[in-house]
Each structure stands twice: as C-alpha cells, then as structure tokens.
Amino acid sequence: MAYNVNDNIQQPVRDMVKEIGPDIQRIGYEWDRKPDAFCHDIFQILAGKGCVGFNMPKEYGGGGKSALEYATMIEEIAYWDAPSSLLAAVSQLAVDPVARHGNDDQKKAIIPKAAKGELIPAFALTEPNAGSDAANQQTTFTVDGDNFIVNGEKIFIMHGDVADVGVVFGKILEDGSRGKVSAVIVDLKQDGIKAETLKHKMGMKYATTGRISFKEVKVPKSNLLGEPGKGFKYAMMTLDGARIGIAAQATGICQRALDETIKYAKERIAFGSPIAKLQAIQWMIADMATKTEAARLMTYKAAELQDAGARFSLEAAQAKLFAAEAANFCVDRAMQIHSGYGYIGEFSPIEKLYRDQRVSEIYEGTSEIQRLVIAGNLLRG
Ligand code: COS
C-alpha cells in the first residue's frame, strides 16, 4: 500500500489510475511479446483519461496538475505497467520546454493537441556522440534567409520513431551563440527526415525509442524556442523535472516487485511451510520495503520542492539515483525469491518487470551523471 504525504491530492490520482490499471496491464503484456512497436492503444487510453496532458498548462488544454500529483500518477501507472508510465510521461517531457520558453503561437500549435494525444511530441537531445555529454551537440541549424536548415542525427529518442513534432537541440552556425546549444521546434513529418524504431529493446518495448536523421530540413526561424544559445539550460531544466518522473516510475516498479514477492512468499511452500517463515526471505523483503519507502519519500520531497518554486536539481538527481538503484535491487530480490517462477515469464510478472526496470539507471541521465549533478550542487559556491 503506497503512502501519501497528502491524501487529499494523491489518493484521487491513485483512484483514477486504478480505473485503467487492469486494462493497460493486460494490453501491455500482449504487446511485450510483439516486435517493438509504439502501442497506440495504451497511449489513447492514457490520453482519454487525461494522463498524457496531466501536467501541461491548463490555459492550453492541459490538466495543470502539480508535480506531486504528476509523480503520484507516474508511480501508480508504473505499478500496473512500467512502459505505460513512459507512454504517459514522454509527451509531457517534450512539451515542457515549449510550455516554459515558447511563445504563445508555439504553445497554441503544440500543447492543446499534445494534451489530447492527437499529436506526439519528442524531446530530441541525445546524439550518437552527445549522450551524457549533452552539450556536445553536432546537429546544426544553418541560417538561410527566414529559415534554418537542419542537419544531424538524434538517437535514443523516446517516441522519436512515431513523433509528429520535435523539440530539437543543436547549434546555430551564423550568430553570436556559436558554440552554444539552441532549441528549435521541428515538424517531423516532412522531407529530409528519416525516423526509425530502434529494434530489440530489452524492456519498455512498446514505449518505443527512435533514431531521427535530418538532411537539409527547412524550418522557419520563427520556430526557435526562447533565446538562441539557451538550449542547454532549457534541456537541463526539463531534465530536472523529468528525473522526478523516472524516480516515481522506479518507485512504482519497487512497490510492484515487493507486493508480488510478499504474495508469493506467503503461498510458496518449501520445507513444509511458506517460505515467508524463513529468515533469509524476511530479510530480503524487509530491505525491499525499506528501499521502496525511502525512494518514495525522496521522490515526493523533490516534487514538493518543485511545486514550491524552489530549486530542486539536487533533490531530483538524488531521488532519481536512489529510486533507480532501489528498483534494480527490488526486481533482483523479487527474481531471487521467485526463482524459476520469476525467471520464466509465463508464471509471474517478475521477468517483464526485471527487463522494464533496467533502463531506469540509464535514461534521463545515468546513475553516474546523477552523482555528478549531486556532487556539483554540493560543491558549488
Ligand atoms: N537548470 C538550469 N540551468 C542549468 C542546470 C539546471 N538544472 N544545470 C546546468 N545549468 C546551466 C549552468 O548554470 C551553466 O550555465 P552558464 O553557462 O550560464 O554558467 C550551464 O548550464 C552549464 O552548466 P554545467 O557546467 O553544470 O554543465 P555541465 O556541462 O558540467 O553539465 C552534465 C554536465 C553531465 C550534468 C550534463 O551534461 C548532463 O546532465 N548530462 C546528461 C544529459 C542527460 O541526462 N541525458 C539524458 C537523455 S535526455 S532524454
């Protein structure tokens, strides 16, 4: 049972997700066995329930929810089905820089449709040589009259294979921001763009990951987001919030692994009694429960700081680091306790949970990057 720091605002979110939980879980398990493809069925269920536009600005058709409500929603969806929580989260990650730094026309063009799930946006930052080193952008925006000509390649872009529009990071060559990253909104359904699904992903299969290449793509200069040369800062600001989302997702995975394990340990008989009676099993369950609760509280703390308008980069990185590693611990212990019944997917959700979890220590900044961000925040000044 998940603990709320604020029952009034968190419990209604949990109750709302419970209404779609069994459906997204059932569809998710079917899609997990298929070749990698974006699951529009789950995406539309989530959009219909308001989960896709949940924290997008209300004045542009979003739900306008707080960071704490958002974290609760992602945690609860991930409990039912982790990839579905990504299907809900990615549009909000991609829209975030538009909501923060876009002008009214840009917001009107993207947010209302994205909130309803009618348009799929992508956050296109990572490149083959700009992953952890996100500032090393090789994508170029060459000025040509009233247009930019975009050239470059983006990889590991969530929903990048199906996205309609991208917030694309790169460098403008002919202006004073030379060498600094800028962000441009790009219609991804136009000539010169090739988008592909990355194949054989270990987990999170139907919240797909793509490669997008840009060859001489014409984009109006009016699509520049905010100010030139501020793109890296914009990306980092968005990632601060997104890291709370991944911490919440990891917390949901922890709780699911714990609940499945408690249920199994009470039912599984060995040496004449349920294995829950064995101290070796009890210790593992105690550690799983303790890490789950700590992950949850760190996630909520970071979200509450964001809601209060305080700086929260440190707390978001700490929550993401801790929760992702806790989730790894929990799925691993769950697998150990379930043994063969965990390792083989026809018996329990543990095999899928184990695969879906692993990326939490990789995306939105690896655990190593979170440690750099934490140390940087502590040592600065
Ligand atoms: N919010 C606002 N501004 C920020 C910021 C934040 N969270 N983090 C950094 N900045 C600003 C700094 O203030 C600095 O601005 P000035 O140049 O005006 O001083 C600028 O950005 C550079 O900051 P810093 O020197 O700390 O950045 P680094 O190059 O050292 O950052 C890391 C390195 C590794 C932290 C960064 O590149 C990073 O987070 N990489 C991982 C990227 C990632 O998570 N990718 C996942 C895929 S995206 S889905």
Q: Is the pLDDT of residue 178 over 70?
A: no
In the chain, the N- to C-terminal Cα span, in Å, equals 41
Check residue 179 and give its pLDDT. Answer: 76
Q: What is the pLDDT of residues 266-288, one digit of tens each?
A: 999 999 999 999 999 999 999 99
Q: Are residues 130 and 262 in the same domain?
A: no
| Structural domain contains residue 1 | no
Q: CB neighbours (10 Å) of residue 104?
A: 9
Report the pLDDT averaged over residues 37-41: 98
**pTM for this entry:** 0.96
Cα distance between residue 375 and residue 107, in whole Å: 35
Q: Are residues 65 and 132 in the same domain?
A: no
| Structural domain contains residue 286 | yes
- Tell how many helices (H) and how many strands (E) occur in the chain: 11, 9
Q: Are residues 203 and 82 in the same domain?
A: no
Report the pLDDT averaged over residues 94-109: 98
Q: Is the pLDDT of residue 242 over 70?
A: yes
Using the mean position of ligand 1's atoms as its centre, give its distance from the Cα of residue 347 in Å. Answer: 43
Residues marked as catalytic:
364
Check residue 208 and give its pLDDT. Answer: 98
Q: Are residues 261 and 191 in the same domain?
A: no
State the CATH number of the domain containing residue 368: 1.20.140.10
Mean pLDDT score across all residues of the chain? 97
Place of tokens 């593992």: 284
State the CATH number of the domain containing residue 93: 1.10.540.10
Cα 195 to the chain's mean position, in Å?
20
Report the pLDDT averaged over residues 35-58: 98
Using the mean position of ligand 1's atoms as its centre, give its distance from the Cα of residue 212 in Å. Answer: 23
Q: Are residues 162 and 138 in the same domain?
A: yes
Quote the strand ranges of the chain, DSSP E: 121-124, 140-144, 147-158, 165-172, 181-187, 193-197, 209-220, 269-270, 273-274
Check residue 132 and give its pLDDT. Answer: 94
Report the pLDDT averaged over residues 164-182: 86
Using the mean position of ligand 1's atoms as its centre, give its distance from the Cα of residue 122 in Å. Answer: 20
| Atom number of ligand 1 nearest to Cα 313 | 7
Cα 89 to the chain's mean position, in Å?
5
Domain range spanning residue 334? 239-380
| Structural domain contains residue 214 | yes
Q: Count of domains in the chain?
A: 3
Pocket test for ligand 1, best of 91, 155, 232 (most atoms within 8 A of CB): 232
Residue 228 is given by DSSP the state T
Q: Of 96, 119, 142, which residue is a domain's last?
A: 119
Residue 176: pLDDT band by 50, 70, 90 thresholds?
A: low
Contacts of residue 160, defined as CB under 8 A and 6 or more positions apart, other chains included, come to 122, 124, 154, 166, 195, 208, 209, 210, 211, 212
Q: Is the pLDDT of residue 1 over 70?
A: no
Q: Are residues 148 and 248 in the same domain?
A: no
Q: What angle do CA 70, 231, 129 make, to 5 degrees?
A: 95
Residue 63: pLDDT band by 50, 70, 90 thresholds?
A: very high
Residue 301: pLDDT band by 50, 70, 90 thresholds?
A: very high
Q: Are residues 370 and 248 in the same domain?
A: yes
Check residue 3 and give its pLDDT. Answer: 86
Q: Are residues 115 and 133 in the same domain?
A: no
Q: Tell me which residues have their CB closer than 6 angstroms to ligand 1.
A: 123, 125-126, 132, 134-135, 232-233, 236-237, 239-240, 313, 364-365, 369, 372-373, 376
Q: Is the pLDDT of residue 174 over 90?
A: no
Residue 325: pLDDT band by 50, 70, 90 thresholds?
A: very high
Residue 177: pLDDT band by 50, 70, 90 thresholds?
A: low
